[in-house]
Amino acid sequence: MNRFNQAIRRQNPGRPPVWFMRQAGRYHSHYQLLKRDHDFMALCKDPALACEVTLGPIRDFDFDAAILFSDLLFPLEAMGMGLRYAPGPELDWHLKSLADVDRLRSGAERVRELEFQAEALRRIRVALPAEKGLLGFVGGPLTLFFYAVAGSHKGDVSDAVAGVTDGRFAAFCERLHGLLVANIVLQFRAGADTVAIMDTAAGEIPLAAFEHHVVPSLARVFADVRAQVPDALFTYYSRQTGPAHWRALRDLPIGCLGVDWDHPLSAVLAEVGDRWAVQGNFDPHLMLLPEAELRPHLDRFFADAQTISPQHRAGWICGLGHGVLPGTPESNIRLFLRLQREFFAP
């Protein structure tokens, strides 16, 4: 069993594995070279290109796991909302009423429109060295809902927040559910070791709404995936959440909790390390600093991690609290990985 798979099962005795959200993307010269000849949609939907983009940072930086290069909005496209990138994502229409939700196409059979993700994962799995882990990913129901209502989870999202409790979110989940379950199953069967549920909008709504509306939608998805893939191992990532949110997730079959940078890693592992592996959580904004200024932050981050008990550190997957930001120097990526290996050698 490779280092990543050991850690996600909280069984890693040695150096913690490292992977970054968006480790393949705009900051990376390998991606930029491919982007000269192919638009973003082609890089995602052509399995050969998606495989190549995914493998670029593995070859270049030697991360311990690869994550499928794709986008979380493709289920909305499959449901009939249209999708283009100019350069950010734009949908043809939004869910402003319950009548709009009725316009969505639904059904597990729509997963055929996402087969390109499975083929990319199969190609990655063949090309990926055995000592590397492989992640698939999807958007969580709430985050997909925010995009469907507001086109984003940034800026003014008040209508999306209202939609969680006015009936639109529940109706949306009914339309989404079969497709989302089928998409996750597709990725597991194509070779993913874990599928990450990216819920970047989780911190935008009141805790009570998260507990009463979002958690049940996740529970239903996880249960129906496991009915088809009994050993499915889920990673759940959320933004701007904390211990109260994590406690609301305690009965879900999550294997790994991804966290942002708002909480010290040692505190997160003390809170949940007996239950879940933890992925995170260095502040990605610090990766934009000049190397001489970045180095002390990395030293403190890794020194803090060294104070964590071996029992809890056996479930730590080292990374950022969100994705690599555009403009991040590649030299800083190399510095992070070099120092991590030095701090936790062998």
CA atoms of 241 and 205, how far apart (whole Å): 10
Contact criterion met (CB below 8 Å) for 294 and 258 = no
Q: Alpha carbon 299 to chain centroid distance?
A: 26
Based on the number of CB atoms within 10 Å of its own CB, is 290 exposed (0-12), middle (13-18) or buried (19 or more)? exposed
Cβ atoms of 151 and 90 within 8 Å: the answer is yes
Angle (nearest 5°) at CA 206 between 205 and 208: 125
Identify the pLDDT of residue 345. Answer: 87
In this model, does residue 91 exceed pLDDT 80?
A: yes
Can you list the domains of the chain with their CATH numbers?
3-343 (3.20.20.210)
pLDDT > 90 fraction of the chain, expressed in percent and rounded: 95
Assess whether pLDDT exceeds 70 at residue 29: yes
Q: Which pLDDT band holds residue 203 (cuts at 50, 70, 90)?
A: very high
Name the band, by pLDDT with cuts 50, 70 and 90, for residue 311. Answer: confident
Alpha-carbon span 336 to 163, nearest angstrom:
41
pLDDT per position as a tens digit, 41-60: 999 999 999 999 999 999 99
Neighbours of 264 (CB within 10 A): 13
Instruction: Say whether pLDDT at 211 is over 90.
Output: yes
The predicted pLDDT at position 109 comes to 95
How confident is the model over 284-299, as pLDDT tens digits?
A: 999 999 999 999 999 9
Which tens digits make up the pLDDT trace of 315-332?
A: 999 999 999 999 999 999
Q: What digits encode the pLDDT tens for the residues 127-179?
A: 999 999 999 999 999 999 999 999 876 678 999 999 999 999 999 999 999 99
Q: pLDDT value at position 207?
A: 97
pLDDT of residue 153: 65
pLDDT over threshold 80, residue 346: no
| Cβ(148)–Cβ(74) below 8 Å | no
Q: Average per-residue pLDDT in the chain? A: 96
pLDDT given at position 151: 86
Is the pLDDT at 7 greater than 90? The verdict is yes
Give dist(CA 66, CA 237) in Å, integer. 16
